Amino acid sequence: MQNTPIVPSDETVGSSYIQRSNSLAGSVYEVIFAQLMSLKIAPGSRITVDNLVRELNVSQTPIREALGRLEGEGLVVKTHLIGYSAAPQITRRRFDELYELRLLLEPDSAARAAAAMDKTKLAALQEAAGVMGRREGADERIRYSTFARQDAVFHDRIMEFAGNELIRETLNHQHTHFHIFRLMFHSRVTEEALDEHEALLAAFALGDASAAEKAMRVHIEHSRDRLLPAFD
For residues 155-163, give the mean pLDDT.
97
pLDDT tier, 15 (very low <50, low <70, confident <90, very high otherwise): very low
Question: 41: domain CATH number?
Answer: 1.10.10.10
**Residue 96: is its pLDDT beyond 90?**
yes
Range of the domain at 133: 92-231
Q: Is residue 3 part of a domain?
A: no
74 and 123 share one domain: no
Number of domains in the chain: 2
pLDDT digits (tens, 9 = 90+) for 165-203: 999 999 998 888 888 888 876 667 788 888 999 999 999
215 and 126 share one domain: yes
pLDDT digits (tens, 9 = 90+) for 101-149: 999 999 999 999 999 999 999 999 999 987 755 555 556 767 777 888 8
pTM: 0.79
Q: How far apart are CA 179 and CA 54, in angstroms?
A: 27
Of 86, 114, 137, which closes a domain? 86
Q: Are 63 and 50 in contact (CB under 8 A)?
A: no
Closest CA to 184 of 127, 140, 119: 140
Residue spans of beta strands (DSSP E) within the chain: 46-47, 76-79, 83-86
- 10 Å CB burial of residue 33 (0-12, 13-18, 19+) is buried
pLDDT digits (tens, 9 = 90+) for 28-43: 999 999 899 888 999 9
121 and 70 share one domain: no
135 and 198 share one domain: yes
Closest CA to 157 of 183, 137, 136, 130: 130
149 and 115 share one domain: yes
162 and 222 share one domain: yes
110 and 194 share one domain: yes
42 and 109 share one domain: no
- pLDDT attached to residue 13: 46
State CA 71 to chain mean position distance.
Answer: 15
